[in-house]
Amino acid sequence: MGIQGPSGSGKTKSALLLAFGLTADWSKIAVIDTENRSSELYCNLGSFSILPLYSPFTPERFSEAIQTCAKAGMQVVIIDSISPEWQNILQEHSKLTGNSYTNWSKFTPRHQIFVDTLIQSDIHIICTLRSKQAYVLNEKNGKQVPEKVGMKPIQREDLDYELTLVLQLSMGHYATAIKDRTEIFADKPAFTITSETGFLIRKWCEPDDAIEDLIISQIEGCADIPSLKTIFENHPLYQNSLRHKFNLRQQEIQSAHGNTNN
């Protein structure tokens, strides 16, 4: 999940409240703090753990911090924030000489490993992202004039594609869902994030045995790889728990087609 907003919009507190709603246990919540231990300002909320992360903000160090929290038995990890990871990459890229496009090959795989760590983890991860004012150039009276077009998170542009839920916070601390695979907040008016928000997401995450049985029957009845892939993509909630079923059916289909070709 992602919570993005400008400085002062309440990202850290909102993330903590959401995390408590997800787990109902402060001792199972950890904050990977890149903001000079600013999360300590909210220790009155509960006894959550803090793992400070200092410069250099390399992708590898973020991945290691996530793994450390997971090994410690944390159920929810808040990364506050992931913007320094991308800012570090931009800074290092700018120092290189030569072809700028070619130089990205040195950084893109490293960033992708960090993203993979986020999305493949077995625990809940909430990322906060700093936002800045975005502008576009429009022509007025023969001149190019910058115009405001909302807020833009400080991270790689396609990161939200990887996240299940992205909430945008205003300076009034109101949240709006700008991406929502859960459909809990889709087309809903702006709201204040509370522990109840996390509880709603938790209920969405809890597997339904009847639905799981239906998906398994679809997997077992699937006769080709494209259809199997469609079933997999249509059920993000069950991709981890049923991955072995998908993989097994894929092998069976490939084996059957191989025997037919022979």
**pLDDT of amino acid 188:** 87
**pLDDT of amino acid 160:** 86
pTM: 0.74
List b or e across 191-226, with b for residues whose CB sees 16 or more CB atoms inside 10 angstroms.
Answer: eebebebbbbbbeeeeeeeeebeebeebbeebeeee
CB 24 within 8 A of CB 18: no
**How deeply is 260 buried, as exposed, middle or buried, from its count of CB atoms within 10 A (0-12, 13-18, 19+)?**
exposed
Q: Note the Cα 203 to chain centre separation in Å.
A: 18
CB 107 within 8 A of CB 60: no
C-alpha radius of gyration, the chain, whole number:
21
**pLDDT of amino acid 141:** 77
**pLDDT of amino acid 151:** 65
**pLDDT of amino acid 161:** 86
Divide the 262 residues of the chain into consecutive groups of 10 and give the mean pLDDT of each group.
Answer: 93 96 95 95 96 96 97 97 94 90 92 93 94 71 70 81 92 93 88 93 78 87 92 80 91 81 52
**pLDDT of amino acid 238:** 78
Sorted by where each begins, the domain ranges of the chain are 2-205, 209-261
Domain 2-205, what fold?
Rossmann fold (3.40.50)
**pLDDT of amino acid 235:** 78
